[in-house]
Amino acid sequence: MSEVIQDLSLEDVIGDRFGRYSKYIIQERALPDVRDGLKPVQRRILYAMYDSGNTYDKNFRKSAKTVGDVIGQYHPHGDTSVYDAMVRLSQDWKLRHVLIEMHGNNGSIDNDPAAAMRYTEAKLSQISEELVRDINKDTVPFMPNYDDTTKEPMVLPARLPNLLINGSTGISAGYATDIPPHNLAEVIQATLKYIDNPDITVSQLMRYVKGPDFPTGAIIQGVDGIKKAYETGKGKIVVRSTVDVETLRNGRKELVVTEIPYEVNKSSLVKKIDELRADKKVDGILEVRDETDRTGLRIAIELKKDVNHEAVANYLYKNTDLQVSYSFNMVAISDGRPKLMGIREIIDSYLNHQVDVVTKRTQYDLNQAESRMHIVEGLMKALSILDEVIQLIRNSKNKKDAKENLIEKYEFTEAQAEAIVMLQLYRLTNTDIVQLQNEHDELKAIIDKLRHILDNHDALLAVIKEELTEIRKKFKTERRSVIEAEISEIKIDKEVMVPSENVILSVTRHGYIKRTSLRSFNASGVEEIGVKDGDSLLKYIDTNTLDTALVFTNKGRYLFIPVHKLADIKWKDLGQHVSQIVPLEDDEFVIDAYCENDFKPDAYYIIATRNGMIKKSNVSMFKTTRYNKPLVAMKVKENDAVIDIMRISDEQTLTVLTHKGMSLTYPSEELSDTGLRAAGVKSINLKAEDYVVLTQIVAPENTILMATHRGALKRIDYRVLQLAKRAQRGITLLKELKGNPHRIVAACVIQPDDTSYTIFSTNQQESGLIKDIHLTEQYTNGSFVVDVDEFGEINNLVVE
């Protein structure tokens, strides 16, 4: 043998070899044929079982025997791949109508493996008989098997549209297919309508084929997706589990899942739901139980008392395979190549196949009938001259001589002469002559009928319709999947995701925020909060994990922070800076914080700036769904800054204090409700070089404490204030001095239960009792409490 070395480029070799491989797995492995809906391995399994007599009306046979037959004669691949394909054909949660009946463990919806092939037994199902029926009547082309020892069918006769009824799934090189199962009665009815009217539209076909009909039932949503898939071959639907609500004896409710989406692993689904419960991703689930038994699938999700079962179900639809998307990708082999097909094309291809099968079968039956007719006519002729025929045969030397004499003397054909010499003596009775005449008449009628079918296309279609109608009557079942026109919107209720817990939210002046359990807060006390040196508590709020914190900054922006997203940190620990949650600008800092529960439009936020601007906005405007960056609460000019935030639920009185000691008091109804991006209106008419120090709600039971830059404190009663209109100059609170007049640097509204004050400088603080600061009249500067030369410049005042 001579050695031949070819000099080829690697690119050409790889391209050629992979091209051949791709062509093979596309055509001969992964994709179904549009005519019989089967992949090659499935076709070979069914044919091997049929050929060996392993049919539904016989006893079961060991699966290993079938696998051996398939490998030995038709499918030169591993026994595992053949057995796996065989098992799938027997699983009633994968196929709408199983093609193989199997005794023994054939797997489960939990994706448990089937028992080994040596343990299980199988035979063709009754409906499989309709796929292989008439295969021995030259109805389909055969080809040599892989070792040329026998032949195998290239396609099965398929008396029912199996591709749509049982669907198919597969992945090959560059192509994939996902064709869902359908209801047999609906598909056949649509096929019959297509025969009557080849121009029927997809919309008209959908009167009969409502949509997929999964063996696992469940609810299909999205008629538009079904229609698109039936038109183009591609479309998307939602498949949702069937979930009922049952009430237990103890008053608790449980969600009971009785049907799950197609090809969802039940055990993995149960495990996922239980993990969500254990990880507290969803609050309200007490226990998850798989109660599936021989009567049917059942998953029980027991809920805690007073839990919104619809909200829990919606969360599970969103976050588990209790609801999945199913994408149609109806690719099948048509005319030897992969093709994306709509429902009309699939039905049309199937009908063309049936026309071909019925034509070939009719021709085969006609040939058989004509051959028999020829023999019967010869026998009848022989019986009419029986004595002469017998005498001729007796005088012949042997069988061959007898045949030749019959042909020569009486003009019988070879086939007729063979039948005459093989005739048994008992057939020479008078009764048999009558039977031959009857058979002749019957054969004549059959031949006329078969010729009519071959000559008349409508008659041939009538045969197909009759056979399809017969199959529909025999195998039809009720639809299992319910179809809903629209895809339901899933609304996730926050209460379901987050366990409800009362907590303390705290914010420091330097912007550190945290949530703390009541246990940690009560064990430490307010004074023991963990803060950095130079920092102090700005505010702490009793709130709930279901609430949302609104943290306002000096730039007129706010941070939308769900409380449950804050880390649970001990009261004595520092917490995290707000800029780690939402990025802030370098010169931006926190000035106040509030917590909202439901954002109902029954309250307002009033925002006031240093330069005397003010606005009022409804609480409902502050709700948002995207909160990964600061949001605008008020449009603020570059040289201005927000200094105060107030939340009001009814009309209140506002008071404004300025640096130069001016005060303006007016009702909040002077402010109209504006949007978040508005700049607001003028609150007070400021003098030159003056600015606002305080804008707050004030009531008759309040007093106001002011700190001046010279270290004096002044406290006035509510009666000193004079109610006026917005945007006026206001009244003067301080006594004017020619040299170094007092200027207000900080102020607070004192509530009836406040008892102490603290003033701050850059490096120290001084505290005292509010009662020691006597109420004064309008034109006074108060009394000195610190020496600013020693204490430092006052920058804050706090009362508590």
Give the HSE-up count for residue 572: Cα atoms under 13 Å, Cβ half-sphere: 7
β-pair partners for 121: 62, 103
Any idea of the CA torsion for 683, 686, 692, 698, to the nearest 10 degrees? -50
For strands 219-221 and 482-484, give the pairing: parallel
DSSP string, 658-710: ETTSEEEEEEGGGSPB--TT---EE-S-PPTT--EEEEEEE-TT-EEEEEETT
Task: Name 58's Cβ contacts closer than 8 Å, sequence gap at least 6.
Answer: 123
Q: What are phi and psi of 285, to 5 degrees?
A: -90, 125
Around Cβ 738, how many Cβ atoms within 10 Å? 5
Cα distances (angstroms) measured from residue 175 to each of 23, 614, 678 = 11, 64, 56
**Tokens matching residue 424:** 């048994």
577-584 long-range contacts, Cβ below 8 Å, gap at least 24? Answer: 577/510, 577/511, 577/512, 577/513, 578/507, 578/511, 578/512, 578/513, 578/551, 579/511, 581/513, 582/627, 582/628, 582/629, 582/630, 583/629, 583/630, 584/511, 584/553, 584/630
Query: What's the angle, vertex CA 61, arms to CA 57 and CA 63, rounded to 5?
Result: 130
Distance CA(220)–CA(239), nearest Å, equals: 5
DSSP string, 92-140: TTT-SS-SEEEES----TT-PPPPPTTT-EEEE-TTHHHHHTTTTTT-S
Task: Name 28's Cβ contacts closer than 8 Å, sequence gap at least 6.
Answer: 40
Around Cβ 42, how many Cβ atoms within 10 Å? 25
Distance CA(485)–CA(503), nearest Å, equals: 44
Distance CA(186)–CA(165), nearest Å, equals: 9
In the sheet that holds 482-484, the strands lie side by side as 168-171, 176-179, 323-329, 234-240, 219-221, 482-484
Per DSSP, 28 falls in state I
Q: What are phi and psi of 655, to 5 degrees?
A: -125, 140
Cα distances (angstroms) measured from residue 560 to each of 135, 455, 544, 595 = 71, 80, 15, 10
H or E segment and range at residue 398:
none
Q: Is 315 an active-site residue?
A: no
State whether residue 25 is helix, strand or coil. helix
Distance CA(460)–CA(426), nearest Å, equals: 41
Catalytic residue among 24, 50, 74, 119: 119
Strands (DSSP E) contained in 441-499 are 482-484
Distance CA(733)–CA(748), nearest Å, equals: 15
The count of residues in the chain is 800
**Tokens matching residue 656:** 């404004």
For the chain, state the CA radius of gyration. 45
Cα distances (angstroms) measured from residue 234 to each of 34, 231, 329 = 16, 8, 5
State whether residue 156 is helix, strand or coil. coil
Burial of 128-155, coded b for 16+ CB within 10 Å and e otherwise, reads bebbbbbbebebbeeeebeeeeeebbeb
For strands 590-596 and 703-708, give the pairing: unpaired
Active site (catalytic) residues: 119
